[in-house]
Structure 1
């Protein structure tokens, strides 16, 4: 199985970074403006991009200010059954975010494109947490 893994450092308290990753307001400011999100274990978050079908992520682990794990239950076929995790730690006022997208069946063109887009996601998270303005999907220029 293949995985995507990134790290970014955010000059923001860990609580603010965690809040951005688990709330409708936070994820709406950094990933997509069309979403249904609740920070509750076993809740299935819904994210909408270009099409009418939702990308659905079940929350399988939620440890405040430390870890978030989603399992993809509906999306592009290459995503279904994969997991996305965010591991957070803070040192000297800087929060590190390790993002992992695991259980890809193989490396494909779509995998590579998603790898790039996860880096853009972390940049948007950083900008939102540090400056108050992220770049959700609807505001990005592809």
Structure 2
């Protein structure tokens, strides 16, 4: 029986679910906290291109999408460890804040790259929070 591993992070963001959804789904906003260049549309079956460098030019397919509620992207072309993994963002409004429950699912092993990615996601999601709450954009070269 094969085991799958998952990265989990929950954080509150002081804005609306609509704004958080834009932050995780709109290429121009993804470029402000995660990617260097991005293209894609948050609709079932659509493909995102997550460009970080010529060596790291990755793709993922939208496998679930409910605007202002959830977005799931299955990574289709990336490095070996990320291929087939799933980025899963769930949003819940609570007392004027949004609880963002993030999972990076379907890792085949809990190797060094898995552990580094978990740390990087924590840093990047904090960058998303600061971007959405305060307008802070961390330069790409300074991101996790």
The answer to whether TM tops 0.5 is: yes
Q: How does 1:122-133 map to 2 (within 5 A)?
A: 122-133=125-136
| Structure-2-length-normalised TM-score | 0.91
CA distance in 2, matches of 1:141, 1:22: 19
Q: Distance in 2 between matches of 1:12 and 1:126?
A: 9
Give unmatched runs, 5+ long, in structure 1.
Answer: none
Distance 1:64 1:119 in 2: 23
2:112 is aligned, of 109, 112, 122, to 109
CA distance in 2 between partners of 1:95 and 1:134 (Å) = 20
Deviation for aligned residue 1:113: 0.6
The offset of 1:50, in angstroms, is 3.2
CA distances 1:22-70 after superposition (whole Å, capped 9, x unpaired): 1111111111131112222211101111334421111111101111000
Is the 1:31–1:135 Cα contact (8 Å) retained in structure 2? no
RMSD (Å), alpha carbons: 1.4
Provide, for residues 116-139 of structure 1, a one-character-per-residue CA deviation record: whole Å limited to 9, x for no partner. 111112101101110112326x24
1:126 and 1:134 in contact (8 A); partners too:
no
Pick aligned residue for 1:100 from 99, 103, 122: 103
Structure 1: which 4+ aligned runs deviate by more than 4 Å? Answer: none
Greater CA deviation, 50-59 or 39-48?
50-59
Aligned residue pairs, count: 141
Where do 5+ consecutive residues of structure 2 fail to align?
none
